[in-house]
Chain A
Amino acid sequence: MQDVFIGFTSVTWQNAVMYLVGFVLIGLAIKKEYEPMLLLPIGFGAILVNLPLAVVWEHAGAAGFLKVFYEAGIANEVFPLLIFVAVGAMIDFGPLFKNPLMIFFGAAAQLGIFATMVIATLLGFSLKEAASIGIIGAADGPTSIFVANIFAPQLLGPISVAAYSYMSLVPLIQPPVIRLLTTKNERRIHMEYHESSVPKWLKIVFPIAVTMIAGFVAPISVPLIGSLMFGNLIRESGVLERLSKAAQNELANLVTLLLGITIGSSMKAEAFLTLETLKIMGMGLLAFVFDTAGGVLFAKLVNLFLPKGKKVNPMIGACGISAFPMSGRIVQKMANDEERGNIILMPAIGANVSGQLGSVIAGGMVLALVPLLVK
């Protein structure tokens, strides 16, 4: 008789907590519209995998459908790379070509990755785990998943949830940090923007050159940067419009759908309900704060060397994180709130697309350097 009710008798309080976590994620996706395309499938996946017997994962010795997806798309890193092809097809590097100095903000705003990694080691995490936690600061879900899967697959669930949750909370996280580090006068700085055309050959050569340079500097970053730039080359070639549209729409939607629910399936109660998860959520928030601070402070440093009239609005530095295009829009709104008519959107978007490059390169650097120090 007990077998008949096994579904009820095998539920633990940990499973119940995970249902609650799933409901919260689904609620945030629907009510608050926080990254709904990812948080909703992640939340539902978390519920599925914690239902009695977890048959979606494994049953009677056979792999369940979510385990099949996991092994086909996460364990071998195919899903994050396919997402990158789609993201590459969506990115227009035009604003960066018109103001190339912005690229350095995409480097400075990766500070959060490294600062958080150091803090994670102080909290007792191993170097590989700390690097995986730090990479939440890439503000870039696929890079976080890619690195965590290689260095600390056991932390994939909390790291993914933290990365996507905080990406959706960028409008709440960044403004107070920016205000804290800048004066009213700095936030009112105007930036000149000259409309100019970008030669088509540059748009085509850029993704190829970027891939090759990244391949020489950090060969291990090639899957990440290569898939991103492949998508961008499809977009800019001008002869593959159907493929470009397919990458931006069908591919992005299909892989996102599978990615979310599969990540959710990694959130088994015994792995997720730990003190480590709480620490990871806290450090994820810190990573975004440090990213923002790194970008803004670097912009202020750059301003020390720029002549009057050529100074950059230091809020631009905060756009160096990879949360594209949300970060650029927030900074433009803040500039407009400070002084009506202050338009800094184009340089902000230039810094924002640089953040996409910076986060992928930073991910590659972490992947290249950490194995040199620990096996």
Chain B
Amino acid sequence: MNDLIEILRQSGTTIQALGVTAGGLIGVFVTLGAFFLIIWLADRFGTRRGAD
């Protein structure tokens, strides 16, 4: 990861922006994915508890 950051540091501004784009979009999807997981688990847990 450090190598990639170092390569991007030496690159032009647009390439750096593309790097931020890739990292940013992955980060947003992963973070919101974690929020999804919380809701999904809560729903399953709640349903099971209701069924018991």
Q: Please report A residues at the B interface, Cβ cutoff 8 Å.
A: 96-97, 100-101, 103-104, 106-107, 110-111, 113-115, 117-118, 120-122, 125-127, 130-131, 199, 202, 205-206, 209-210, 213-214, 217-218, 354, 357-358, 361-362, 365-366, 368-370, 372-374
Q: Which chain B residue lies CB-closest to A125?
A: B13
Interface: B28 (CB within 8 A): yes
Contact A205 B39, CB 8 Å, known A110-B28, A130-B13, A373-B19: no
How many chain B residues touch A (Cβ–Cβ < 8 Å)? 30
On whether the beta carbons of B20 and A103 are closer than 8 Å, the reply is no
On whether the beta carbons of B46 and A104 are closer than 8 Å, the reply is no
On whether the beta carbons of B23 and A365 are closer than 8 Å, the reply is yes
Interfacial chain B residues near A122, Cβ < 8 Å: 14
Q: 25 A–B contact pairs at CB < 8 A?
A: A97-B39, A97-B43, A101-B36, A104-B32, A107-B25, A113-B24, A114-B24, A114-B25, A115-B21, A117-B21, A118-B14, A127-B13, A199-B46, A202-B39, A202-B42, A202-B46, A213-B35, A357-B32, A358-B28, A358-B32, A366-B24, A369-B27, A373-B5, A373-B8, A373-B20
**How far does the alpha carbon of A202 sit from the alpha carbon of B19 in the complex, in Å?**
36
**How far does the alpha carbon of A106 sit from the alpha carbon of B24 in the complex, in Å?**
13
On whether the beta carbons of B39 and A103 are closer than 8 Å, the reply is yes
The 5 A-B residue pairs with the shortest CB-CB distance in the complex, in nearest-first order: A114-B21, A100-B39, A365-B24, A365-B27, A121-B13
Q: Which chain B residue lies CB-closest to A109?
A: B28
Interfacial chain B residues near A205, Cβ < 8 Å: 38, 42
Interfacial chain B residues near A368, Cβ < 8 Å: 27
- Starting from the known contacts A111-B25, A130-B13, 13 additional A-B residue pairs (CB-CB under 8 Å) come to A100-B43, A103-B32, A107-B29, A114-B21, A118-B18, A118-B21, A127-B20, A209-B35, A210-B38, A217-B34, A358-B28, A365-B28, A372-B5
On whether the beta carbons of B21 and A100 are closer than 8 Å, the reply is no
**How far does the alpha carbon of A106 sit from the alpha carbon of B36 in the complex, in Å?**
11
Interfacial chain B residues near A111, Cβ < 8 Å: 25
